[in-house]
Structure 1
Amino acid sequence: MQFQYKYHGNTAIANTPTSVGMSFVPDVYRQPTFFAGKLRKHIAFREAMSALHDVVIADLRYTPKDRTAYKAWAAEQEDIWLADMMEEASGVNAQIQEIRAELEGLRKEKYTVMESFYTAQNKYFKYLYRKNYIAWLVLDPVITVHPDELFFECFSRDESSYGKLGCDYDMFKEIHECECGTTNIDYSAHLYNEFQKIREYKETGFIVDPIGFSVQTTGESDYKEVKIDLPDSWVRGFLQVSSAMTLPARTFDLHPMDMYNFLFLLKRQKEKESPRSMRYILKPGEPVKVVFEPWNHEVVCSRSIYKGNEETEVRVWGRRRLFILERLIPVAKRFTISLLGTGMPSFYIADLGDMNFTLGLSGWTANDWTRMGNFDLMAPRAETEPMTQQTVYTALRENWVEDADSLSNRLNLDRKTVLGALSAFTQAGRAIFDLNKKVFRIRELSREALPVDRLRFANEREASANHFIDRKAVTLKSSTGTDGTLRLSGTVKDKKTKYKPELLIDSDERLAQATCTCNFYTQNKLYKGPCEHMLALRIRHSREKV
């Protein structure tokens, strides 16, 4: 999927002994979005932006050992080994020595001829790494200006970590101009080094520059156009995150020193065998306990009491991604953790006072948002008419940010209908769920409508579910509980086999529990999302309600 941007110049940071000026250049192809103000809290902002940078460059995927040098050496030695073998058979030692000397001379001559090329190539790669490293990795960061805050969003290189930095307007002591909207900003690698120069004694200005949006009849050379061809997985991953945020979760607070203890233990230990999980032991009214496997070291968070109603135990993997939060510990008031379940995504929200930093982690480092965990499939799926969807979207755009209950009351619509409409726009990249404030926000991921049909089926399971419906291969039984939950059961005929899925859907139209007799569920449970038979049952029920 190709994205095209146009910037008026480059993002720049001007450092003087008494001030720092940050001027971010937005994409002029998009609706004018700008902001200008002066920071009130410099150090906290510096650390938060540094943590966001750590998300961008994070890549913990397994990298096989580079054996290029060994293979080159082995290729050179092959002639020698072959000659040694022939020497024993024919006794042509003198001839072999002559050939060896000739080969050695040729290799030296080759290196002399190619030396300038290798030197230039090495300098070129070092230049790219130093000057344009970030551009290799991801789309330029997305920045959104809203009436109550502005926030940045980004994805890690391995697409397993999501970062969002929100700044309330109390973070700024002066705000000169502001226009709500979403845009991409020109961002380059050297900016990270410039952020490190922010100090409390320096006046720091923050600008999303509006100059590029002014009408230009001349000076087109001042603009630069950037085309980035992104895989569908990157775009789909952005859409998956907000859906995962809406799922039921176990939430509790941690003291910053508890997070420090987690990272301190991980720094001192290096896992060499499985399992490599963190096991959260949550008991109502008792301190949160975390067991680090495989060493079974238990950390008791005496400052952090679990206030939930049920005793539970949750295991999560990919724990070394938590080092992204390391720089936030000195400036954080608390960390709020939301666990969706064992092997499911987890979210860590750092309360930085007038700022908040959300780190979203997929179930495993290798289990990214796009291929393994299809959490949009478990988001609210109440089908709504196009006119109703547009009414909800227009109402949300009036205030830019609002919760589902407020929208439901204001529009006099059923809450499930509102959630269904908001879910549709979330999956289309036009809205986002803010886990920190529990509200929906307008956020247009791109200036042009995303190809929803192309992104709709992230995998064959969802496409297969719709095929079952079209072939009328689904039977359904439903019952509603006194607590508003919905239980679905039935059969799905796939060729000559009948499968028996069962689903429990909570009052917010979210999948709470599910089972099936198919092989996919037997092997994966819900760790990789629901199977096609569960989806078919749910789609059939949704269509019958219309």
Structure 2
Amino acid sequence: MLFNYRYSGNSQVYSNASSAGISFAPDTRRDPTFFVGKLHKKIAFREAISALHDVVVSDLRFKPKDKTAYKEWAAQQESLWLAEYMNGFDTKAADDRIATLKNQLHDISAERDRVMGPFYKARKTYFDYLYQKDRDAWFVLDPVISVHPDEMFFECFSQDESTYGKLSANYNVFKEVNEFECGTTNIDYSAALYDEFQKIRDYKETDFKIDPGGFQVQTSQEELYHEVKIDLPDSWVRGFLQVSSAMTLPAATFDLHPMDVYNFCSWLRRFKEKKGPRSIRFILEPGKPVRAIFEPWNQEIVCARSLYTGPQSREIRIWGRRRLLILERLIPIAKKFTVHLTGNGLPSFYIADLGDMQFTLGLSGWTANDWSRAGQFDLMAPRAIVDDSAKLKVFADLKTRWMAKPETIAHATSLDKATVLGALGIYTQAGKVIFDLHTGFYRLRELSREPLPLDDLRFSNPEEAAGNKLVQEKRVQFTEKDIPGVGLQLTGTVKGSHRVYHPVITIDADERLSNAHCDCNFYASNKLYKGPCEHMLGLRIAHAQK
């Protein structure tokens, strides 16, 4: 998917003995979005924006060892090893032959190095330059920034698409706000900015600017712009769209003291596991301190300062725990960390309360289990058939407010809450709305200037496409039962190609899939870790279309 950006100059941070300034260059092709003010919470902002940078550059995917050089050496040595093996037949002749071959190989290697040396040197110099001087070319996409009436927030994804970062800052972070225009835009971002951020000091007056004019360079009275074209994989875009849906999943929520997070990070720094399981087991008992067991050592860390206040006991395991080290830099300035665990092997969210700022770290179930391929959590979000007029009413009302809760929109538009949730879910999947986990608001945030190709992004996996096809071919039948305090239970029969399947799903009061099971092979192998199977999806779609 090709994205075109047009920046006026480059984002820059300047610093001298008495003052500093941050100037972000936004995408001038989008509607004007700008903000001009002076930073008040300088150190906290520096640490938070640096943690966001750690998300941008994070890539914990397995990188196999490069054995190319060894294989080339082994191929060269093969003739020598063979000669040594045959040495027993004629020792003197073999020794003479080996010596001759060694001399010939030495001459050939020397000639090869002479011919290829300049190429290898130039290639190394190029990659060193690219990494040191233009490191942003190694990254995927510039961060997205949104300016709202009550706050501004930055969003980004890691290179391995398994980690989501969001930094929200209300206007108390600034001691002087000159002007701003609400909207969403991409900002020009480079690795050099990170080094400049480290120069922000509390004693320096620091300007903060997001200007549609950007940082301008004048040459012969003409403004110079630079065009950026980024060909993004569909997985990146789809993953970004699914984050908000993952945030709406039912979750076990509790607060952690910063020292508890420090203890987690300290253990991960001190010890490196060599075998599985590589998980953290959270033991949650009402009224008791949260306990975390680090496997495979079974080391228990008791969070004595953090009590679990949930209604029932739970035990939840999460994987990909080394991504929690991103939170290290926030520990000294955080008041608390609010944790949202959606289930075993399912996404988890960690919200650092920085006073007037909140840093949200979203982790997929595993480091290799990114949001787009195995995290099919948009499938669990509210799904309803909403007519166009209702959708337009909901979007128009949200556009006037910029952020609102479903109840507020339902009251203003005279629509029922289920219809509003369905419309908001549709706009979330279209990249026009995001769910704010910290406040519970749905916020207006249009991910791209042009409408996203939803036909290409609609079915993120074969199960969803197959479920839709089952409904179209009228192979799904179901009965429904309302269970007080739990939700609506759907029991169905789905005619497959070779047999009949019997999915059962439970939809809670917020139209979310809270429980499900099926007798198909997909569910037996994956449970809900990879999202619902095609039969569950067909059952839900059929119920929505009745």
Contact 1:28 1:213 in 2 (8 A): no
Number of residue pairs aligned between Structure 1 and Structure 2:
543
SS at match of 1:211: coil
The match for 1:155 is 157
**RMSD over aligned Cα atoms:** 1.7
Match of 1:124 in 2: 126
Query: After superposition, where does 1:445-460 map in structure 2 within 5 Å?
Result: 445-460=447-462
Deviation at 1:220, TM superposition (A): 6.1
Q: Amino acid of the residue matched to residue 462 of structure 1?
A: E
**1:375 corresponding residue in structure 2:** 377
Aligned to 2:66: 66
CA–CA separation in structure 1 for the residues paired with 2:219 and 2:501? 66
Residues 79 and 251 of structure 1: CA distance in aligned 2, closer, same or farther (over 3 Å): same
SS at match of 1:363: coil
Query: Hey, what does 1:323 align to over in structure 2?
Result: 325
Deviations along 1:169-200, one digit per CA (max 9) or x if unpaired, are 00000111101111000111111000111110
Shift of 1:14: 1.0
Aligned: 1:199 with 2:183: no
Q: Provide the residue aligned with 2:26 in structure 1.
A: 26
CA 1:421–1:476 in 2, change beyond 3 Å: closer, same or farther? same
Q: Write the distance in 2 (CA, Å) between the matches of 1:274 and 1:285.
A: 31
Deviation at 1:68, TM superposition (A): 1.8
Structure 1 residues 12-54: Cα deviation after superposition (integer angstroms, max 9, x where no partner): 1111111111110000111111111110011111110111011
* SS of structure 2 residue aligned to 1:413: coil
Distance in 2, matches of 1:453 and 1:513, equals 28
Q: Please state how far the C-alpha of 1:155 moved relative to its aligned partner.
A: 0.4
Q: In 2, distance between residues paired with 1:14 and 1:133? A: 19
Cα contact 1:143–1:150 (8 A) shared by 2: yes
Per the alignment, residue 433 of structure 1 pairs with 435
Of 313, 316, 328, which aligns to 2:315?
Answer: 313
Q: Is the 8 A contact 2:9 2:225 kept in 1?
A: yes
- Gapped runs of 5+ residues in structure 2? none
Is the CA contact (8 Å cut-off) linking 2:84 and 2:94 kept in structure 1? no
Aligned position for 2:545? 543
Written as runs of structure 1 = structure 2, the 5 A alignment for 1:414-493 is 414-483=416-485, 485-493=487-495
Q: Which residue of 1 aligns with 2:289?
A: 287
Instruction: Decide whether the 8 Å contact of 2:352 with 2:359 is kept in 1.
Output: yes
Aligned to 1:186: 188
Q: What do the CA deviations read for 1:290-341 (whole angstroms, capped 9, x no partner)? A: 1111111111111111111111111111111000000000000000000001
What is the rounded CA distance, in whole Å, between the counterparts of 2:181 and 2:73 in structure 1? 61
Give per-residue Cα distances to partners, 1:191-228, cap 9 Å, x unaligned.
100011111011111111222599x9996660010100
Identify if the C-alpha distance between structure 1 residues 484 and 79 changes in structure 2 by more than 3 Å, giving closer, same or farther.
closer
Match for residue 526 of structure 2 among 507, 524, 531: 524
- Residue deviations 1:99-129 (CA, integer Å, cap 9, x gap): 3212212211221233232222211111100
CA contact (8 A) 1:57 1:134 kept: no
Distance 2:180 2:161 in 1: 31
Hey, what's the Cα distance between the residues in 2 that align with 1:53 and 1:428? Answer: 26
Match of 2:225 in 1: 223
Aligned counterpart, 2:15: 15
TM-score, normalised via structure 2 length: 0.97
Residues 43-94 of structure 1, C-alpha deviations (whole Å, 9 max, x = no match): 1111101110110111111111221221121122123223334555563543
Kept in 1: contact 2:10–2:215 (CA 8 A): no
What percent of counterpart residues are identical?
59
- In 1, Cα distance between the equivalents of 2:295 and 2:319? 10
Question: Contact 2:83/2:94 (CA < 8 Å) preserved in 1?
Answer: no
SS for the counterpart of 2:28 is coil
How big is each residue's C-alpha offset from its partner over 1:365-405, in whole Å with a ceiling of 9 and x where there is no partner? 11110101100000001221011111100100101111111
Alignment of 1:313-392 (within 5 A): 313-392=315-394
Alpha-carbon distance in structure 1 between the residues aligned to 2:212 and 2:64? 46
What is aligned with 2:105? Answer: 103
Is 1:249 the counterpart of 2:251 in the alignment?
yes
- Supply the distance in 1 between the matched residues of 2:375 and 2:358 (Cα, whole angstroms): 25
Contact 2:23/2:215 (<8 A) preserved: no
Residue 483 of structure 1: how far off its partner (Å): 3.2
**Counterpart secondary structure, 1:99:** helix
* Stretch of structure 1 that moved more, 77-86 or 326-335: 77-86
Provide TM-score, normalisation by structure 1.
Answer: 0.97
CA–CA separation in structure 2 for the residues paired with 1:482 and 1:260 = 42
- Structure-2 residue corresponding to 1:42: 42
* AA partner of residue 14 (structure 1): Y
The whole-number CA distance in structure 1 between the counterparts of 2:459 and 2:485 is 32
CA contact (8 A) 1:291 1:298 kept: yes
Distance 2:518 2:220 in 1: 65
Moved more, 382-391 or 327-336: 382-391
Q: Secondary structure at the match of 2:311?
A: coil
CA contact (8 A) 1:165 1:358 kept: yes
- The 2-side partners of 1:472 and 1:122 are apart by 60
Asked if structure 2 preserves the Cα contact closer than 8 Å seen for 1:131 and 1:188, the reply is no
- 1: distance between equivalents of 2:121 and 2:65? 24
Task: Please say if residues 184 and 445 of structure 2, whose CA atoms lie closer than 8 Å, have aligned partners that are also in contact.
Answer: yes
* Residues 202 and 460 (structure 1), Cα distance of their counterparts in 2 relative to 1, 3 Å cut: same
Does the aligned pair in 2 maintain the 1:292–1:298 contact within 8 Å? yes
Could you tell me whether the CA contact under 8 Å between 1:34 and 1:210 is conserved in 2?
yes
Query: 3-state DSSP class of the match of 1:380?
Result: coil
| Distance of 1:302 and 1:441 partners within structure 2 | 36
Please say if residues 32 and 213 of structure 1, whose CA atoms lie closer than 8 Å, have aligned partners that are also in contact.
no
Q: Which of the residues 250, 259, 263 maps onto 2:261?
A: 259
- Structure-1 separation of matches of 2:304 and 2:414: 46
More displaced 10-residue stretch of structure 1: 167-176 or 270-279: 270-279
Structure 2 letter corresponding to 1:18: S
Alpha-carbon separation, structure 2, partners of 1:82 and 1:400? 75
Which residue identity is paired with 2:190?
S
Question: In 2, Cα distance between the equivalents of 1:314 and 1:222?
Answer: 54
Aligned counterparts of 1:416 and 1:525: Cα–Cα separation in 2: 27
CA distance in 1, matches of 2:400, 2:43: 34
Q: Distance in 2 between matches of 1:300 and 1:97?
A: 67
Partner SS for 1:444: coil
